[in-house]
Structure 1
Amino acid sequence: MMRSVLLVLAGIVLGCLAGEGLVRLGTANQKNYVIEMWRYANLLKQRSDDPAIGHEHRPGRSARLQGVDVSINSLGMRGPEPDPDRPAVVIVGDSYAMGWGVEEADTLRGQLAAKLDAAAPDARWQVLTTGVGNMTLSQSIALWLRMEDRLSAYPAGAIPVKTVILLPTVRSAEPQMPDNAGWLVRNSELAALAVTFIRQAGSGKTGREDLVAAYREAWSGGPGREAMDRALDRLAADAVARGQRVILAQVPDPNDFVDYEFEFMTRIMEDAVRAHGWTFVDLLASFRGETAADFWVAAGDVHFNGAAYGRIADQLVPHLVTPVADTAR
């Protein structure tokens, strides 16, 4: 009896090992979104000691993810080291602010920096981003408020931050998810795929109507929305104390720019901007009526590509090179 049990267990173990090998072989081309996000979490992220942040980048690390080289500087930001002699524009947000799946020069940070240099060379702006994948807006803002301290204590000299660009996405008002991945999921691609499939199947929300309804519910109230509102208030108080201006550039849901169903999200953010005296930019204006898939980083991955970031940068540059008094709403 014991021998039979051991043989069965051995067969299960060997089957799992074989499955793990096949999965790793099949995803070696770096085109599987789930596995690339899994690698991103393992190679470039670490748990934050601040529960409000949850996770952040590992300073000084780099990796090739989804066929793109991603380098994290000494402060935990994607991109080059900051220059203490140049005033900074800082992009705050999630994987869209980070530029997932896009070469560094084609990210919003990279293109905005190049366009600002061309439009206002005397201003000598530098553009930084604190974007980290899989964050709610409350997490992104909590990370930014901590990152400000790192910029102030930068060894080469304090970095003067003049403008904060807040880049909310549809996930901004979702509740913060706990990091409860076990050892197996952290170390096995097969387990990561299996858990993702089980979660998606168990949610019962797969269609377009379910997606819109779920986001409408999250943005209407509940812990995620409450956390987002508190974070916006904290950012407003901090910006006033530091003499910074804030531009809230609302990222549209990237699935459909023709029959757009997320205007409720835009209205909520417009109200927040008016309450805090910020500048509002509706980024849907750059895409309305267009084929959404033309701006995806890859088939099945709705993160923005370089062409999308180019349009967004073009929309933001006038707000940055025009005096604050002329851009405030």
Structure 2
Amino acid sequence: MNSNASRAVQMEENSVPKSSVVKRALLAILAAGFSLVLCGLMIEGLARTVFDNGMDFDLEMWKYARDLKRVSAEPAIGHEHIPNTSGVFMGAQVDINSIGLRNREVAPVPDGAVRVMMLGDSLTFGWGVKEEDTPSRQLETVLNSAATGGRKYEVINTGVGNYNTQMEVAYFLTNGYKLKPDIVVLNYFINDAEQTPRRHKVGWGEYSQAYVVLASAVDKISRIFLGRADWKAYYRGLYENGQPGWTDGQAAIQKLARYCKEHGLKLVIVNYPELHEIKQYPFPEVTAGVEKIAASEGVPFLDLRPSVEDLVPETLWVSPSDAHPNKIANERFAGAIAQTLEHSYPDVFADTASVATVGK
């Protein structure tokens, strides 16, 4: 190109107003932003229509936390149910009463009745089962059907998903004791040695199902291909020496046991098995550790694994991908708990001798 032509091109470029260049850049940015938003909406739509079949554990737990939980005013409790809320999760209707429990409204204890309070997490709450199939309601049914002396038994379900032992004890010492239970059942599961979770807002994670699906996929991939600890290693790691969750959990059990002794309440500690492998159970040392702390406080202890070890694990699950106990498991558990209550406190359960044959 000769010098005259170069000058002409340069003059033409210089003649383009700078405002036009800015407008073009802004339009390009807006177009890119619109494309990203559109793509995000499409992915979100896929997550809500293709992946959300109402039975995906991660999505259903996310909805449960979003719709039925709030941050508690008591830091030691962490989170709690929002009173008078409801929803359907894992195909099961969930109704929360006026004091934040998945339970019928709690009235004053009837004359001559025995009130049992179940402390626990999502297993006690009854994740994935109808209210009448929760461990608490099954236990109440067993006790009352076996009673021969006219005494009435009432079982209150205080379970909340993602609680640990510290939170359960904090709930009891803050609110639960006000319901005047005669017997407290502390229901223990292997992940109760986790530290108390704190709610952190994570942007899209508060509202986006696509975020939940993606985070779940990343977690699974990292465990399979990237060397992240599998579920067995994770659970065992919670009980290594010095782990704060287990240390604090033991302290919470001791605090609960001492409170019950000082106030004349009866206490039982119940250990729920991890239901993936029942016969060759991979965590006997965890069960032994919980039993040891119960023995040190003079508290009756029950391991529920023997009550279901004759069954195929998958027949006890809420769904093929969710090993929370289903109705079958909870029936067995309720029968075993009833037997332990009778044997541990015969003065209270003298008229329920027939429970020994229930759940077998």
Q: TM-score, normalised by structure 2?
A: 0.83
Segments of 5+ residues of structure 1 without an aligned counterpart are 153-158
Structure 1 counterpart of 2:337? 316
Change (3 A) 1:307 1:205: farther
Q: Distance in 2 between matches of 1:47 and 1:209?
A: 29
1:111 corresponds in structure 2 to: 138
* Structure-2 residue corresponding to 1:33: 57
Q: Counterparts of 1:175-214 in structure 2 under 5 Å?
A: 175-202=195-222, 210-214=230-234
Deviation at 1:11, TM superposition (A): 0.5
C-alpha contact 1:120 1:321 (8 A) present in aligned 2: no
Larger CA Rg, structure 1 vs 2: 2
Show structure 2 runs of 5+ residues with no match. 1-24, 349-360
Corresponding residue SS for 2:269 = strand
Aligned equivalents of 1:189, 1:208: Cα separation in 2: 24
Name the counterpart of 2:253. Answer: 232
Partner of 2:38: 14
Partner of 1:76 in structure 2?
100
Deviation, 1:16, is: 0.6
Give secondary structure in 2 for the equivalent of 1:161: coil
Equivalent position to 1:262, from 269, 283, 294: 283
SS in 1 for 2:311: coil
Confirm whether residue 42 of structure 1 aligns to residue 62 of structure 2: no
Q: Please, which of 169, 192, 196 is the counterpart of residue 141 of structure 1? A: 169
CA positional deviation for 1:144:
2.2
- Mean alpha-carbon deviation: is it higher for 26-35 or for 204-213? 204-213
Query: Given the alignment of the two structures, is residue 89 of structure 1 paired with residue 101 of structure 2, yes or no?
Result: no
Conserved? CA contact 2:300–2:344, under 8 Å: no
Of stretches 3-12 and 271-280 in structure 1, the one that deviates more from structure 2 is 3-12
Q: Distance in 2 between matches of 1:78 and 1:113?
A: 14
Q: In the TM superposition, what whole-angstrom CA distance separates every residue of 1:10-66 from its partner, at most 9, and x where no partner exists?
A: 111011111112211225531111111111011111111222211111111111112
* 1:196 Cα deviation from its structure 2 partner: 3.0
Instruction: Count the aligned residue pairs.
Output: 319
Aligned counterparts of 1:139 and 1:9: Cα–Cα separation in 2: 44
Name the structure 2 match of 1:167.
187
SS state at 1:220 partner = coil
How far, CA to CA, are the matches of 2:255 and 2:88 in structure 1? 35
Give the distance between the partners of 1:111 and 1:234, measured in 2 at CA: 28
Q: Which residue of 1 aligns with 2:26?
A: 2
Q: What CA deviation, in whole Å up to 9, does each residue of 1:144-183 have, x standing for no partner?
A: 222225xx2xxxxxx4311111111110112223321324
Contact 2:223 2:229 in 1 (8 A): no
> How far apart, in 1, do the equivalents of 2:51 and 2:163 lie?
25
Mark the CA change 1:209 to 1:203 in structure 2 (over 3 Å): closer, same or farther. Answer: closer
How has the CA–CA distance of structure 1 residues 291 and 181 changed in structure 2, closer, same or farther, with 3 Å as cutoff? farther
**What is the CA–CA distance in structure 2 between the aligned matches of 1:316 and 1:208, rounded to whole Å?**
36
User: How far is the alpha carbon of 1:208 from its aligned partner?
Assistant: 11
Identity of aligned residues (%): 30
Q: Which residue of 1 aligns with 2:312?
A: 291
Post-superposition offset of 1:319: 2.5
State how far apart, in whole Å, the 2-side matches of 1:325 and 1:117 are: 15
Partner of 2:107, secondary structure, is coil
Residue 61 in 1 paired to residue 81 in 2? no
Give the Cα–Cα distance (whole angstroms) in 1 for the partners of residues 157 and 173 of structure 2.
13
Is the 2:88–2:94 Cα contact (8 Å) retained in structure 1? yes
Q: Distance in 2 between matches of 1:83 and 1:206?
A: 53
Deviations 1:94-120 (A, max 9, x none): 000000000111111111111111112
Aligned counterpart, 2:151:
123
After superposing the two structures, state which structure 1 stretch, 133-142 or 12-21, moved more.
133-142
- Residue 285 (structure 1) shift: 0.7
Equivalent residue letter for 1:308: A
TM-score by length of 1: 0.90
The CA RMSD measured in Å over matched residues stands at 2.2
Q: Which amino acid aligns with 2:141?
A: A
